[in-house]
Amino acid sequence: MRGTPAVSIRDVAVRAGVSVGTVSNVLNQPEVVAAATRVRVLAAISELGFVPNDAARQLRRGRSRTLGLVVLDVANPFFTDVAKGVEYATGQAGMAVIFCNSDGDPAKENAYLDLLEEQRVQGVLITPVNTPINGLDNRLHRLRNRGVRVVLLDRRSTQSDLCSVSVDDRLGGELAMRHLIEKGHRRVAFVGGPHDLEQVRDRYDGVVQALATFGLSEGQHLRRLETPALTVAAGRDAAARIVGTPREGRATAVFCANDLLALGVLQGLTRQHVRVPDDIALVGYDDIDFAAAAAVPLTSVRQPRASLGQTAATLLLEEANDPDHHRHRQVVFEPELIVRESSDRPAGHAAG
Report if residue 51 touches its own copies, rule: CB under 8 A.
Answer: yes
The SS3 call for residue 164 is strand
Which residues from 5-24 bind DNA, rule CB under 7 A? Answer: 6, 8-10, 17-24
153 burial (CB, 10 Å; 0-12 / 13-18 / 19+) is buried
**Up-side HSE of residue 177: CA atoms within 13 Å toward CB?**
31
Nearer to its own copies, 3 or 215 (CB): 3
Nearer to its own copies, 91 or 346 (CB): 91
**Up-side HSE of residue 12: CA atoms within 13 Å toward CB?**
28
**Count of residues that bind its own copies according to CB under 8 A:** 60
- For residues 89 and 165, give the distance between their C-alpha atoms in angstroms, rounded to a whole number: 15
Nearer to its own copies, 4 or 217 (CB): 4
Nearest to 56 by CA among 28, 19, 33: 28
Q: Please state the closest distance from residue 31 (CB atom) to DNA, in A.
A: 8
Report if residue 321 touches DNA, rule: CB under 7 A.
Answer: no
Report if residue 36 touches DNA, rule: CB under 7 A.
Answer: yes
Contact range with DNA by CB under 7 A, out of 50-58, 142-150, 233-241, 256-264: 50-58
Nearest to 125 by CA among 313, 306, 304: 313
Q: Residue 204: CB partners within 8 Å, gap ≥ 6?
A: 173, 190, 192, 195, 224, 257
Kindly tell me which residue out of 10, 19, 28, 114 binds its own copies, with binding defined by CB under 8 A.
114
Q: Please state the closest distance from residue 126 (CB atom) to DNA, in A.
A: 23
**Count of residues that bind DNA according to CB under 7 A:** 30
Kindly tell me which residue out of 17, 30, 135, 323 binds its own copies, with binding defined by CB under 8 A.
323
Q: What is the DSSP letter of 226?
A: E
Nearer to DNA, 117 or 168 (CB): 117
How many other C-beta atoms can be found within 10 angstroms of the C-beta atom of residue 245?
A: 12
Choosing among DNA, its own copies, none, which partner's interface includes residue 19 (Cβ < 5 to 8 Å by kind)? DNA
Report if residue 3 touches DNA, rule: CB under 7 A.
Answer: no
- For residues 303 and 78, give the distance between their C-alpha atoms in angstroms, rounded to a whole number: 9
Choosing among DNA, its own copies, none, which partner's interface includes residue 142 (Cβ < 5 to 8 Å by kind)? its own copies
CA distances for 62 relative to 37, 316, 348, angstroms: 29, 18, 66
How many other C-beta atoms can be found within 10 angstroms of the C-beta atom of residue 70?
A: 22
Q: Which residues bind to its own copies, rule: CB under 8 A?
A: 2-4, 6, 49, 51-56, 58-59, 62, 64, 66, 74-75, 77, 80-81, 83-84, 87, 91, 96-99, 101, 108, 111, 114-115, 117-120, 142, 144-148, 232, 260, 263-264, 266-267, 270, 289-290, 292-297, 323
Q: Which residues bind to DNA, rule: CB under 7 A?
A: 6, 8-10, 17-25, 27-28, 32-34, 36-38, 50, 52-53, 56-57, 59-62
